[in-house]
Structure 1
């Protein structure tokens, strides 16, 4: 029996830059599925159509990367129209598809998914982010019409999906709770680095720019990601260790990228930082192989507390000691591989950074513990097997086993 063909849609990052989506796509393609991915075009990934590692990629011009509410609305309306058009292109002129995988945010694509469900396709919701909680973290609002709309669209996306892929147990609890999905329809596929894509390399002293220590950050740079906390921490680190002791490499991009660069200049720590922008696996491997310490400065919000940052497992893959705020899913992921700071205590974050840089024994202990935990409990092979087992069972027959539930129905 032929394996189902798969169409994956992601809006907020291009592929192959989105490491989770690309890891899933290539894993499924190698297993024998015919995989197509639709994503925005950005930076060096601008070709409207190309095939990489046998995965068929269709990209649309993003046009605008929204920041405020109106900007986000414009971005999402445009992506909705592009996704609708490109699903038709893939269906008629491309590889076709038996399964559509919707990766959020946002959750506005349920009408398109609903149409294709009526056409006999299987719908999978790959639940990357908690959009209502993300909105609250980004705009510091926990009420209002916009938040109510986000919650409503989330419910409809859960309702239209036959299956849900959750990134961690907190997300799985939400899928079973406010998403009203049956336990057997929710599968946890954690973020974990593919060892075939990240190489542990000899350290490159030039990346330190003459500093004694090198600190690495990897990830998106948005208002809610805490990179401003890292900037303020570097001010205190410089005061305690001197101007040439530490160099920080920030790998990533996002809507707050230029503001963070300007903020670093205003605070006069820009000479301590290399901003790489979004980079590929080769650069990530070079930097993380050379760093002394990896950081996740994401402060506490309900969104951050329940979310798993891919960067944590990637840090662990390279055996790096990690400094982070004490968040539920960060601790579940890193375990004994990180030094945790009480959330909200920026002074403690900076002071702990200094303490770790000055304690090579503690850094070695953390790095070793994190690497051992990754290999033992959360390596990609564990999630890969669950991913492949899920998609091997999907196809038209799922239609008979799952009905769209009314999202307004009260739970029993």
Structure 2
């Protein structure tokens, strides 16, 4: 009896520019899911604090890291950063090709320039999958508050990326609509794979009272400390809560690092709320979990704009996984994710944001009900275990695509 020929192992090269692996949780969850499903996986990414080793293998995944200039600021800075990244990504992709081989390039934006590498390798029979993390035209508008020649360039790069892609992955329905309408993708080749949390990592722990700094309540935030995350709104809400609403029984903890950390610390001092806010900087998961498990409520102060309205924030999912009630501005994808696990302030209304925090702190029954709803929603609908099969389905679609000849 003749044996069936053994199917060759599927091989994937993931390229991500803005965060190192395995620090980038979404990318790492995707990579390890593929590896456990029998794929050979390699990742190209930048170095970062705690991730300086240029080559290593973790959990069966090969990681190749490269240096980047300092984080960009202005057109020249972005050109330098993106040009340097593109050079190293192309160089390392050749190294991976000759060392391990790959069948698919899995590109994670931002920026929308990795299609240049994907397009080059498609000439040699490789496939290209686009993992749409951020809507860059809207991100540019949120950062610089204008629609100029660079905004139009962002639209053009996005369009070329979708046209190069054999399959694209969207993090939510809003992104899927953009892939189809603005990107011209075939709807059957656009898969929604949410950034569902890994519930085995987000463990519920006993509270640690020292985080409250001697006060009755703790309000928690976790995320990148950047310009468009709305932390300036949060600090002004703290000021209103303390100075105008007379609530001195609340402490705030802001967990995370980023380029605006020092300026926001200074802002807290200028607003005279420095003693009510703890900035942790970037911390290990153990410290993050201690702080969030101690929090009575958690907040997402992302400003209402086109970018944030259409984007799903990982912090929302993490709050829900830990059973924490949430206060955030009323944004489309924020509401789709949290539903009844959150109270929604009027968009960009700082006083209403502070008022919602006060009202929720004063309503323990609402906090308990909302926390339980959010945790059940994660456990029964949104955890990564429910998203992993969608990722594998997108790869089945990629491999059903006839490779270019």
**TM-score between the two structures when normalised by the length of structure 2:** 0.94
| Inter-CA distance 280–117: structure 2 relative to 1 (3 Å threshold) | farther
Higher mean C-alpha displacement, 126-135 vs 65-74: 65-74
Task: Verify the 8 A CA contact 2:219 2:295 in the aligned structure 1.
Answer: yes
Report what 1:13 is aligned to: 19
Report what 2:3 is aligned to: none
Task: Verify the 8 A CA contact 1:198 1:282 in the aligned structure 2.
Answer: no
Report what 1:77 is aligned to: 83
| Inter-CA distance 130–14: structure 2 relative to 1 (3 Å threshold) | same
Q: Deviations over 1:115-169 (max 9, x none)?
A: 1111111110000010000111110002x11111111100011111100000000
Report what 1:407 is aligned to: none
Report what 2:196 is aligned to: 192
Match of 1:276 among 280, 290, 296: 280
* Structure 1: 5+ residue stretches without partners: 404-412
- In the TM superposition, 1:37-48 aligns within 5 A as 37-48=43-54
Q: Deviations over 1:222-258 (max 9, x none)?
A: 2111010011111122223444x22222122223222
Task: Verify the 8 A CA contact 2:166 2:398 in the aligned structure 1.
Answer: no
Shift of 1:294: 0.6
Tell me which stretches of 4 or more aligned residues in structure 1 moved more than 3 Å.
392-395
CA distance in 2, matches of 1:312, 1:69: 32
CA distance in 1, matches of 2:392, 2:139: 29
CA distance in 1, matches of 2:356, 2:402: 53
Match of 2:115 among 77, 90, 110: 110
Given the alignment of the two structures, is residue 59 of structure 1 paired with residue 62 of structure 2, yes or no?
no
CA distance in 2, matches of 1:130, 1:4: 29
Helix, strand or coil at the partner of 1:367: helix
Q: Deviations over 1:18-57 (max 9, x none)?
A: 1111111111112211111111111111111122222111
CA distance in 2, matches of 1:63, 1:238: 41
Report what 1:368 is aligned to: 372
Report what 2:133 is aligned to: 128
| Inter-CA distance 349–204: structure 2 relative to 1 (3 Å threshold) | same
Shift of 1:269: 1.9
Report what 1:313 is aligned to: 317
CA distance in 2, matches of 1:28, 1:279: 28
Shift of 1:393: 4.7
Task: Verify the 8 A CA contact 2:167 2:397 in the aligned structure 1.
Answer: no
The number of equivalent residue pairs is 398
Task: Verify the 8 A CA contact 2:218 2:251 in the aligned structure 1.
Answer: yes
Report what 2:4 is aligned to: none
Match of 2:401 among 395, 398, 401: 398
Shift of 1:373: 2.0
| Inter-CA distance 54–279: structure 2 relative to 1 (3 Å threshold) | farther
**TM-score between the two structures when normalised by the length of structure 1:** 0.93
* Structure 2: 5+ residue stretches without partners: 1-6
| Inter-CA distance 16–277: structure 2 relative to 1 (3 Å threshold) | farther
Higher mean C-alpha displacement, 317-326 vs 360-369: 360-369
Report what 1:202 is aligned to: 206
| Inter-CA distance 277–3: structure 2 relative to 1 (3 Å threshold) | farther
Given the alignment of the two structures, is residue 97 of structure 1 paired with residue 97 of structure 2, yes or no?
no
Shift of 1:82: 1.2
Match of 2:33 among 27, 30, 34: 27
